[in-house]
Amino acid sequence: MTRSYAIRTFGCQMNVHDSERLAGMLEEAGYTAAGGDETPDLMVLNTCAVRENADNKLYGNLGHLLPTKKANPGMQIAVGGCLAQKDKGEIVKRAPWVDVVFGTHNIGSLPALLERARHNDEAQVEILEALEVFPSSLPARRDSAYSGWVSISVGCNNTCTFCIVPSLRGKEKDRRPGEILAEVQALVDEGVLEVTLLGQNVNSYGVEFGDRLAFGKLLRAAGEIDGLERVRFTSPHPKDFTDDVIAAMAETPNVCHQLHMPLQSGSDRVLKAMRRSYRTERYLGIIDKVRAAMPDAALTTDIIVGFPGETEEDFQGTLDVVRQARFMGAFTFQYSKRPGTPAAEMDLQVPKQVVQERYDRLVALQEEISWELNKELVGKTLEVLVSAGEGRKDADTLRMSGRARDGRLVHFTPGETQIRPGDVVEATVTYGAPHHLVADGPLVSHRRTRAGDNSEAGLRPKTNGISLGLPGFGTPPAASTNSGPTTEEGCAVR
């Protein structure tokens, strides 16, 4: 009998992309996606270990699943992702009704582990300490008909004291440019209009094959793919940011003028304690260069408030950088201990009430800046790629939503026009709010797209892993000059 599956994803974009791979493998193994109210035969929890209360969230979800499993004896529960990599066999000790635990380095093992758990009638725990097969060689069931993640690397070589990712995802492993471009082309062939190049640190891409300028070359090469309308990337690290990437962004028409670059703190002393390998002058210098090349660039960032030892003077430094940088938006976090990180053992942990008060001030300042920047766009006409996730806002306004090229969320009025997720409209901004724009006037234009056709038909890209025959991670032949993005046969393509 055909078995159904459902996947719950927690955490970052990398986990979202891993879940697409898990879905692709399960469907290749004969599973089908469960309907909305259907109890699945398999529930997969793809976990995060970075966010606060990650453990409580996992075991809370597992507790809620226990009565369902008791009522459905054939149901299986699998736990993967970063928390599984960290906790290993502890998960089945605390939740013995879990059938499979797998880590970040072996997501491709899930179908076999599920079968083994059924056959042996006992839990299977398999955690590898290093990546053996690049996830991009696995099939994927994409969530969106119009937009897709494309991984360019996995892992991270940095040692930030607040971050547990390197120990869970491993050292950086880079895909060859030809692999990446082949995957992008496959998505475009399926009707996808927008791709986001994904990595823990995208602008250190090329470190494995010795080309420090590889990421800028990759952006330019993506610009040559016919039918690809938007290219985004996340996330870069300021210490590795090079001028050629700014030039590639400015000179490649389909690369969006959007930059998410984590700041984390505006205090040089705190940045040193975080092991962030750059200082505020360097960070602001990159922003100045970006704005000189692309005056319309929209910048976003990550900021941690209350890192151990942060003083009021340190925090004022963060506020000063935020005022100077004028971010479109910021993901702001209150520091909390992450077991296994050096920062968790540091002295001078900042009291919770102090962290909360500083956090509130930072959020208020950023909202003021975001609102000012969004109000400046009133009267401007923006190109909007219509989104499926936001859909129609409510019965009163009947607005639909989408993303402008710079990443801003736009709510627009479609009128009587039949518009589908994946279509492209041009709309004139009538109101700017801190976190979104409103365009309530008549649409300037509407372009029906193949992505919109696919959304309307309920179709999603399903890409298979492709290999050109080279083992491992696509290490180039000895004769390769590593001169940048190519589609040479000396690489593995997913």
Same domain, 205 and 312: yes
Domain for residue 41, yes or no? Answer: yes
pTM reported for the whole predicted model? 0.85
Provide the residue range defining the domain that includes 386.
381-462
- Choose one of 375, 408, 434: the last residue of a domain: 375
Same domain, 204 and 292: yes
Domain for residue 307, yes or no? Answer: yes
* pLDDT tens-digit map of 212-249: 999 999 999 999 999 999 999 999 999 999 999 999 99
Same domain, 230 and 315: yes
pLDDT value at 197 more than 50? yes
Q: Mean per-residue pLDDT for 281-307? A: 98
Same domain, 186 and 291: yes
Q: What is the pLDDT of residue 460?
A: 81
CATH code where residue 219 lies: 3.80.30.20
pLDDT value at 483 more than 50? no
Domain for residue 404, yes or no? Answer: yes
Same domain, 366 and 389: no
Q: Which residues are annotated as a binding site for [4Fe-4S] cluster?
A: 12, 48, 82, 156, 160, 163
pLDDT value at 491 more than 60? no
Q: What is the pLDDT of residue 246?
A: 98
- Choose one of 126, 144, 178: the last residue of a domain: 126
Same domain, 219 and 359: yes
CATH code where residue 424 lies: 2.40.50
- Please state, in angstroms and rounded to a whole number, the distance separating the CA atoms of residues 287 and 334: 24
Domain for residue 244, yes or no? Answer: yes
Q: Mean per-residue pLDDT for 176-196? A: 95
Same domain, 176 and 321: yes
Work out whether strand 258-260 and strand 298-305 pair parallel, antiparallel, or are unpaired: parallel
- Choose one of 82, 99, 126: the last residue of a domain: 126
CATH code where residue 109 lies: 3.40.50.12160
Q: Which residues are annotated as a binding site?
A: 12, 48, 82, 156, 160, 163
